[in-house]
Amino acid sequence: MNIQEILLQIEQEVHSDTSRGKAADYIPALAEIDLNKFGMAVHTIDGQEYKVGQADEFFSIQSIAKVFSLSMAMQQFDEKVWDRVGKEPSGTRFNSLVQLEFEEGIPRNPFMNAGAIVITDMITKNPEPMKKDLLSFVRNLTGNPNVSYDFEVAQSEKESGYRNVALANFLKSYNNLNNEPEEVLDVYYHQSAIQMSCADLSRAFIFLANKGFSPYCEQEVLSLRQSKRMNSLLLTSGLYDAAGDFAYRVGLPGKSGVGGGIAAVIPGQLAVSVWSPGLNESGNSKIGLKALELFTTYTGISVF
């Protein structure tokens, strides 16, 4: 199987697709992006890299960063993470408030905004050092010292983050936040505003394809058991209310973000990332989904 040829084939197929979705205009700084951007990158556990399109261009990874903050929380708190956040798919949109009152302030899972705000709170003692630690963690996994926060995007989210403010205050009212809502949200908005390329993202996700150990940075990021659990959660909740559709069409653990990125892993083999900024109704990259569906179809590899 020639992965480079497969990527080229996918690029060609999606190029002519005119229904490219809609940019995440609820965050004004993301609204103006060119919907024709497309990049895809594969990193294998034996260190091979394959790229196509704008695979080296930085974009806002948004909710994909929730995998990094959850990894940090699992490193520090292991199973105790689940005292404050659930492990069930939500079936609701990523920024939904609706279940939180019925379930007394325990978010359904760590990948919807409410859950990620709790995870961010868990690892934050002081917002400024936390932002530095998170960035070092991510730079180390990608091996790219240029990975950075896009301060314009973070500020834009802060100015338009009415739902996230509501979620954080609601969580605080249930005693499920230790920090003040605005402190947690400061870290959360920066986390969402991390910018990197598809190539960086595939390197950063490779530990999940290799039992928790990154052959790229030569470190155990999570234990075998933790990485197995992370992948299960990604499969059931990584794409919010479209997790079922993603499992059906692509069949891999994966995580999306409203910047139009999706990262996925084939355990024992590789990590694959794609970026196309137009989103469907669930807030997932429209062309990105199609590209990953073609990827598992043409390679014939899947977890099932």
| Residue number with CB closer to ligand GLN (90 or 192) | 192
| Residue number with CB closer to ligand GLN (94 or 216) | 94
Name the residues that contact ligand GLN, by CB under 6 A.
62-63, 94-95, 113, 157, 164, 192, 257-258, 283
What gap in Å lies between CA 62 and CA 262, rounded to an integer?
A: 10
| Residue number with CB closer to ligand GLN (209 or 258) | 258
- Are 113 and 85 a contacting pair, CB within 8 Å? no
Minimum distance from residue 121 beta carbon to ligand GLN (Å): 14
What gap in Å lies between CA 172 and CA 94, rounded to an integer?
A: 19
| Residue number with CB closer to ligand GLN (3 or 65) | 65
Q: Transcribe 117-185 into DSSP letters.
A: HHHHHHH-SSHHHHHHHHHHHHHHHHT-TT-EE-HHHHHHHHHH-HHHHHHHHHHHHTT--SS-HHHHH
Minimum distance from residue 103 beta carbon to ligand GLN (Å): 19
Minimum distance from residue 157 beta carbon to ligand GLN (Å): 6
Helix axes 198-209, 66-77, angle to 10 degrees: 30
| Residue number with CB closer to ligand GLN (6 or 116) | 116
Strand pairing partners for 44? 270
Minimum distance from residue 9 beta carbon to ligand GLN (Å): 28
Q: Name the residue whose CB lies closest to ligand GLN.
A: 63
Minimum distance from residue 151 beta carbon to ligand GLN (Å): 14
Minimum distance from residue 75 beta carbon to ligand GLN (Å): 22
Contacts of 126 (CB under 8 A, 6+ apart): none
| Residue number with CB closer to ligand GLN (63 or 176) | 63
Minimum distance from residue 177 beta carbon to ligand GLN (Å): 16
What gap in Å lies between CA 62 and CA 189, rounded to an integer?
A: 9
| Residue number with CB closer to ligand GLN (157 or 200) | 157
What phi, psi does 16 have (nearest 5°)?
A: -85, 0
| Cα→Cα distances 159→23, 24, 25, 28, Å | 18, 15, 13, 9
What gap in Å lies between CA 202 and CA 50, rounded to an integer?
A: 10
DSSP character at residue 62 = G
- Are 50 and 41 a contacting pair, CB within 8 Å? yes
| Residue number with CB closer to ligand GLN (67 or 106) | 67
Minimum distance from residue 64 beta carbon to ligand GLN (Å): 7
